[in-house]
Amino acid sequence: MLALASTLTGRLGELVASMDRWVIAPVGAALATTLEACAWILANVDAHIVAAPGDALASRLLRLARGVEPIIGMCVGRVAWVLVTCFGLAAVAHALWASG
């Protein structure tokens, strides 16, 4: 019985070793190649669908800011930060006033 178990264990080990060489390694390589292709496709989708409209919007905003700056006489970025600060202070004052 012990010899049969030893033989069976040895054959099972050889089967697993051959599966590693002929089945597992090629499947792993194919999976890695598929994932690489998917990553490349997603990068192109990101560049064309997500980033392109964002870049176009940023370009339009920059042109608008450059056109408005001579009219208001100061940098649009500073005006935006002043507005953000005012809204933030108003939100904090409202939160403190409502809790009191």
Q: pLDDT per residue over 9-43, tens digit each? A: 777 777 777 766 677 778 888 888 998 999 999 99
pLDDT of 100 > 60? The answer is no
- What's the confidence (pLDDT) of residue 54? 86
Is 65 a member of any domain? yes
In a domain, residue 87? The reply is no
Answer with the residue of higher pLDDT: 3 or 75: 75
Give residue 41's pLDDT.
92
Q: For the chain, how many residues are written?
A: 100
Number of domains composing the chain:
1
Query: Is there a domain that residue 17 lies in?
Result: yes
Our CA dihedral for 62, 67, 72, 73, rounded to 10 degrees, sits at 90
Could you list the residue range(s) of the whole structural domain that residue 22 is in?
2-72
Q: Name the pLDDT band for 97 (thresholds 50, 70, 90).
A: confident
Position 97 in a domain: no
Residue 90 covered by a domain = no
Kindly state whether residue 91 falls inside one of the protein's structural domains.
no
Backbone dihedral angles phi then psi of residue 33, each to the nearest 5 degrees: -65, -40
Q: Is residue 95 part of a domain?
A: no
